[in-house]
């Protein structure tokens, strides 16, 4: 999924789960689970892109995700907790970045690349964006439904 989608998922979890250790753990686990869903991603075709283009696309995606996630979910959430949830929802891709950008094909970067490469569910545009939006809507509705259980 895009970094924007992962950030929104992490922000939604921070907003919906007041138990901070549970929210951080759910945010961390959300990344590989979300990547199983067929989706489109800026990182696809990374071998054919210049390192600068890949970096700029990734930075834009991450920045957009942080911005949207904060203004949708973070304003009324403890800021440090919100950032922790968003960070751990993104850390899988952050740990993969040195493999892509600097050709560091050594652990732990190669491990993260291999894990994520095998998890990716791929879909073409526009359906790959539709699945991400749908996943986020379902997650927010699910969090609202189980909110009393997670926050008791």
Whole-number Å distance between alpha carbons of 2 and 41: 5
Count of CB atoms within 10 A of residue 30's CB? Answer: 23
Q: Is residue 36 classed as helix, strand or coil in its secondary structure?
A: helix
Interval 9-20 mean pLDDT = 94
- Quote the pLDDT of residue 146: 83
- Is the pLDDT at 74 greater than 80? The verdict is yes
For residue range 99-121, list pLDDT tens digits in order.
988 989 999 999 998 998 888 88
- At 55, which helix (H) or strand (E)? helix 51-69
For residue range 75-87, list pLDDT tens digits in order.
999 999 999 999 9
The pTM (predicted TM-score) of the whole model is: 0.91
- Quote the pLDDT of residue 145: 84
Q: How many domains does the chain have?
A: 1
- Is the pLDDT at 143 greater than 90? The verdict is no
**Two tokens at 53?**
């283009």
- Quote the pLDDT of residue 33: 93
Whole-number Å distance between alpha carbons of 57 and 44: 11
Range of the domain at 103: 3-150
């Amino acid at each position: 999924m895009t970094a924007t989608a992962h950030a929104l998922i992490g922000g939604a979890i921070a907003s919906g789960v007041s138990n901070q250790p549970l929210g951080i753990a759910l945010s961390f686990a959300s990344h590989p689970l979300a990547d199983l869903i067929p989706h489109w991603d800026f990182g696809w075709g990374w071998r054919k892109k210049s390192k600068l283009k890949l970096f700029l696309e990734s930075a834009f995606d991450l920045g957009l995700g942080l911005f949207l996630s904060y203004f949708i979910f973070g304003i009324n959430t403890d800021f440090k907790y919100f950032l922790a949830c968003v960070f751990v929802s993104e850390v899988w891709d952050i740990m993969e970045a040195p493999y892509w950008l600097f050709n560091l094909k050594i652990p732990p970067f190669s491990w993260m690349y291999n894990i994520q490469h095998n998890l990716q569910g791929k879909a073409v545009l526009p359906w790959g964006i539709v699945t991400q939006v749908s996943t986020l809507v379902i997650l927010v509705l699910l969090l609202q439904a189980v909110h009393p259980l997670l926050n008791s």
